[in-house]
Amino acid sequence: MDANEKKTLEFKRKIISLMRSREHASALKLFHKTFSAQHPADPEFLESFYIELNRVGMHETAYDVLKEAISWHPEDDAVEELFKNATGIYFDSLVLHGNNLLFERDDKETKFAESIRRADSLAREKMREENDKVLTAITQKALATYKIALDLNSESIPALSGLLRCYQILGETELAEETGALIDEKAPSLRVHEKSKQELIREAELAEEERKLAAAQELELEDSAINKIKELFADKKYAELVSQVDELHLSYRTTVTLLLLKARALVELRRFKAADQVIVEAEHHNRNINEVLEVKNNINETKYRILCKAAEVYLHKALELGLSFGESHFRKAQQSIVRALEFVPENLDLLDKLYTTQKYLGQLEDSYKTKAMIYILNKKYVTAFDREASASLCFIASFAYCDDPQIIEEFRWFRREFLLTSPQGRALNTTYVRLSPRVTRVASGVKFSRSVFRVLLYPVRLMIRILQLFVC
């Protein structure tokens, strides 16, 4: 075996290996690179390659490969037999594919009819237009498939019958008649007698009348059910409303309007996840109806309002309890704020509250990012935390040294630079903020209380001055 033969054998093995490894494109590329009219593949390898192509359902590719190969071996019976088999299998696959497309079309048509019956009257016409486009596209694909099959075998009755069906669906009357005549000519016994045009028109009219009658009955039932459900919603009987809608949908078709009323009731019951699921179901039945979008927006607004209120309550409670006892409240407040910001990410008040929770929980890196976002939105905005750090956090000091703002500023510096930079300091600061107003209210009615506080605060002042000497 010379070097060229060894190389060819290696390529053959590589091609089969690539096919079995499901690298079909690479195998085909290597096949066409290796073999040509000048260097044809031998019949034995062609058979092996053909088997691998059929095994993975690449019937069209197998047909193309052997169509080319038969020109390489014009008088080889084995290659000619392979090509004949490849043509037959490819033809059968085309007819099967065309039939499957028409089955798919019939199935979709049934499902579309059901979805139209479930939809609100305003959306039905638009749905019909969209559905007709889908059904027409599938029919056109089937038509093209049958035409390719007939190019391979123009005498095939199954392919001609599929072509006839496509022309009838598409309303191509003349082409349908021509195809029907071919079928009559080739196999009269298999030709089903067609109804006259007048009969077909009359049947279509009757079907349309039945559809309109059914639609009217559905609308009557729908209006009656919706009115009862609306009464329950007006009476704030939300749990009963949800139960009634579920019972109705067990016996009758699912309507978008009832689903939306159920979603609104679930929101009032604070069952947001369930409401979201109902909205998804409503969108599935009719994605384009404006009422779905309106209710969806209303649900989001309600969520946003509740989350904002929850954040305010939790944060107020956390500040009252202080970091030691109120840490869980700080975290709950933060969770509510983060969820609310998903709806309105540029709300300065929410960002302000988020910044406060981050500072108290020691999330310094996150607090810098939040502060930067606040600065981008409003450069002059001062957060509540910073305002308190520079003002209200010094109740007792302000009371004792009301006539000396420089000393008050020293206490503020101490809180800003030391207390608020550690969990223990923030906990102490929170306690101080909580107790100071009560102490100063009592002290304001006592003589010489300012002098007493100055004496008590003197050691703290001395410590602050020492810290300032080291820091500055």
Q: Is 2 inside any structural domain?
A: no
Nearest of 243, 280, 234 to residue 260 by alpha carbon: 280
- Residue 334 — pLDDT band, cuts 50, 70, 90? very high
3-state SS track over the chain: CCHHHHHHHHHHHHHHHHHHCCCHHHHHHHHHHHCCCCCCCCHHHHHHHHHHHHHCCCHHHHHHHHHHHHHHCCCCHHHHHHHHHHHHHHHHHHHHHHHHHHHHHHHHHHHHHHHHHHCCHHHHHHHHHHHHHHHHHHHHHHHHHHHHHHHHCCCCHHHHHHHHHHHHHHCCHHHHHHHHHHHHHHCHHHCCCCCCHHHHHHHHHHHHHHHHHHHHHHHHHHHHHHHHHHHHHHCCCHHHHHHHHHHHHHHCCCCHHHHHHHHHHHHHCCCHHHHHHHHHHHHHHCCCCHHHHHHHHHHHHHHHHHHHHHHHHHHHHHHHHHHHHHHHHHHHHHHHHHHHHCCCCCCHHHHHHHHHHHHHCCCHHHHHHHHHHHHHHCCCCCCHHHHHHHCHHHHHHHHHCCCCHHHHHHHHHHHHHCHHHCHHHHHHHHHHHHHHHHHHHHHCCCCCHHHHHHHHHHHHHHHHHHHHHHHC
| pLDDT on residue 194 | 45
- Whole-model pTM: value is 0.42
**End residue of a domain, out of 194, 220, 251:** 194
Cβ-proximal residues to 216 (8 Å cutoff; 6+ apart), any chain: none
CA distance 205 to 307: 56
Q: Is 296 inside any structural domain?
A: no
**End residue of a domain, out of 356, 383, 410:** 383
Q: Is 436 inside any structural domain?
A: yes
Nearest of 63, 56, 122 to residue 87 by alpha carbon: 63
| pLDDT on residue 305 | 86
Residues 188 and 74 reside in one and the same domain: yes
Q: Percent of the chain at pLDDT above 70? A: 83
| pLDDT on residue 354 | 92
Domain count across the chain: 4
Residues 114 and 224 reside in one and the same domain: no
Residues 48 and 174 reside in one and the same domain: yes
| pLDDT on residue 272 | 80
**End residue of a domain, out of 383, 413, 432:** 383
Give 239-250 pLDDT, tens digit per residue: 999 888 887 766
CA distance 361 to 353: 12
State which residues form the domain around 255: 201-288
Give 288-318 pLDDT, tens digit per residue: 567 777 777 888 888 888 889 889 899 888 8
- Residue 48 — pLDDT band, cuts 50, 70, 90? confident
Residues 379 and 405 reside in one and the same domain: no
Residues 123 and 262 reside in one and the same domain: no
- Between 2 and 184, whose confidence is greater? 184
CA distance 48 to 127: 50
Residues 375 and 401 reside in one and the same domain: no
Residues 121 and 94 reside in one and the same domain: yes
Cβ-proximal residues to 124 (8 Å cutoff; 6+ apart), any chain: 116, 215
Among 134-143, 298-307, 386-395, the minimum mean pLDDT is found in 386-395
Whether the per-residue pLDDT at 281 is higher than 60: the answer is yes
Q: Is 351 inside any structural domain?
A: yes
Residues 71 and 188 reside in one and the same domain: yes
Residues 187 and 80 reside in one and the same domain: yes
Residues 215 and 253 reside in one and the same domain: yes
Q: Is 300 inside any structural domain?
A: no
Q: Is 16 inside any structural domain?
A: no
Residues 368 and 413 reside in one and the same domain: no
Q: Is 43 inside any structural domain?
A: yes
| pLDDT on residue 201 | 53
Q: Percent of the chain at pLDDT above 90? A: 6
**Long-range pairs, 79-88, Cβ under 8 A, ≥24:** 79/43, 79/46, 82/43, 82/46, 82/47, 82/50, 85/50, 86/50, 86/59, 86/62, 87/63, 87/152
Q: Is 4 inside any structural domain?
A: no
| pLDDT on residue 323 | 64
* CATH number of the domain that residue 374 is part of: 1.25.40
Give 173-228 pLDDT, tens digit per residue: 888 888 888 887 876 554 444 444 455 555 555 555 555 554 544 445 556 677 88
Residues 40 and 99 reside in one and the same domain: yes
